[in-house]
Amino acid sequence: MTPSPRTPFDPHHAMMFIGGTPTDSAERHTVRNPFDGSLVGSVPVASSNGVRAAIDAAHRSLGVDFPLHARCALLEAIADLVEQDAESYARLIAQEGSKTIREARREPPRSATILRLCAEAGRRLTGETLPFDSRPGSENRIGYVSRFPAGVVAAIIPFNDPMALASHVIGPALAAGNALVLKPSMATPLVVLKLAAQIIDAGLPEGRLSVVTGHGSAIGDAMVSDPRVRVVTFTGGVSTGKAIASRADIKKVLMELGANTPVIVMEDADLDRAVPLIAAGAFAQAGENCLGVQRVLVHSAIYERFRARFVEHVTALKAGSSMDESTDVCAMISLQEAERVEEWIREAVLGGATLLCGGRRENAVVWPTVLENVPPGARLDCEEVYGPVVGLYRIGSLEEGISRANAVPYGLHAAIFTERLEDAFTAARRLEVGAVMVNDSTDYRLDVMPFGGTKLSGIGRMGVWSMLLELTEPKVVCFNLKDHLKAHPHLT
């Protein structure tokens, strides 16, 4: 690996950053638009040696003071730069990923907001005093608990929200005073490298941020197993999450591992609101969204009416190029993923499911698909499809809806559409998930929310404030006072 001079960001020969230094490699990876295969750019392919160099730099950087006011000022300055360059970021997101240009335009402002929220939250990361005299014999003691940086953080993020998810680890890690080694998806590395270039050029101290591009099979183990890494954050699939957990050894591990997201639609639901929100939750980002709607559990009293309106709405969605302003559903991230989803649809239909619309694939584009009567045990029924496919299910009661919603091994988000407050509270209490949305899509997320799930959906909580707490450690300080100070507490 040979460092090169710092230059303006060039997606066609992008550099990774080892300890803040732009770095190339002998092997490079091409990034292509999944819709038409056109070249978007290229990035270096790191080896485990590059990861170790990044961790070396991160570990060294922790010995150099980087005060809170400087960290927060930097995050706010980067947020300004992101907003100024928002259209450039959006076009890069749409070209390399699975978002339409209209969807991509929402991500840079969101990232800027996340960075500002992290700066604000960093200033509020305070401690508390402890009542040591609550125990007999400790009357002489006084003290407090404060929080200090966890140290070196390793983060692995997926392709579906590359800029926002990068901001969700960069912002809290830097605000809390840590050093971060980040691996983006090789499907969407360019926007993350562009963001890193702006952060480093804005004056981030050397070593505090490395972005290493490479294949997980080659560099993942070096990232998560190094004993100098104190926290690992990962967003991705369950099988990779299990592998990371087995290699991480004794360190904190935070994971968001996906879902099979249910929506319950009760007989009193407002369908004018429910239909478009559920469709948006199912088919945005070509369905490649861990919060995307996958199972819609509809009360039998309104099932036919909901089905007709939902299919009509979905059929009107336009599939096509991500750069076309009129496209609603663009190509999935790769041809292989589109072929996998097509196979899952075929399996369900052969098992007895009825195809209501969609089911068509052209290269990496899968048309928005709605099925009913998906057989129990089919992959579309019990696993995460991560594609533009929804199954409709008939239920006879709220009790049945909750039971079927909970019947999968995931528990990230769920939703219920109802006008009855009692039903909403019942669902909120009994659904086994990290968040319940009432009269809204499951893919709603506020970036200050504690974000995460139960069961196979993950460990820990992400989100601005939750990540700040996860990326710091509490430290107790206790003073054993002399008797004459105890007699004059005003002296303390």
Contact 127, 469 (CB under 8 A): no
> Both tokens of residue 476?
């107790």
326: number of Cβ within 10 Å: 10
Rounded-to-integer distance, Cα 478 and Cα 492, Å: 13
CB contact at 8 A, 11 and 41 = yes
Length of the chain: 492
Can you say whether the dihedral through the CA atoms of 90, 453, 383, 187 is positive or negative?
Answer: positive
Distance CA 300, CA 302 (A): 5
CB hemisphere CA count around 92 (13 angstroms): 27
Q: What are the residues whose beta carbons fall under 8 Å from the beta carbon of 370, sequence distance 6 or more?
A: 310, 311, 314, 355, 356, 357, 358, 389, 390, 391, 392
DSSP three-state, residue 261: strand
256 labelled catalytic? yes
Q: Which of 391, 437, 387, 396 is closest to 415 using CA atoms? A: 437
CA-wise closest residue to 100 among 393, 446, 388: 388
Q: Which amino acid is at 2?
A: T
| Catalytic residue (one of 96, 103, 107, 256) | 256
Query: Any catalytic annotation for residue 382?
Result: no
Q: Which residues contact 299 (CB under 8 A, 6 or more apart)?
A: 265, 266, 267, 269, 395, 396, 397, 401
Burial of 77 (0-12, 13-18, 19+ CB in 10 A): middle
Q: CB of 235 within 8 A of CB of 386?
A: no
At which residue do the structure tokens 């199954």 appear?
A: 391
Cα–Cα distance between 431 and 398 in angstroms, integer?
A: 11
Q: Which residue is catalytic, options 107, 118, 288, 290?
A: 290
Query: Catalytic residue numbers?
Result: 256, 290
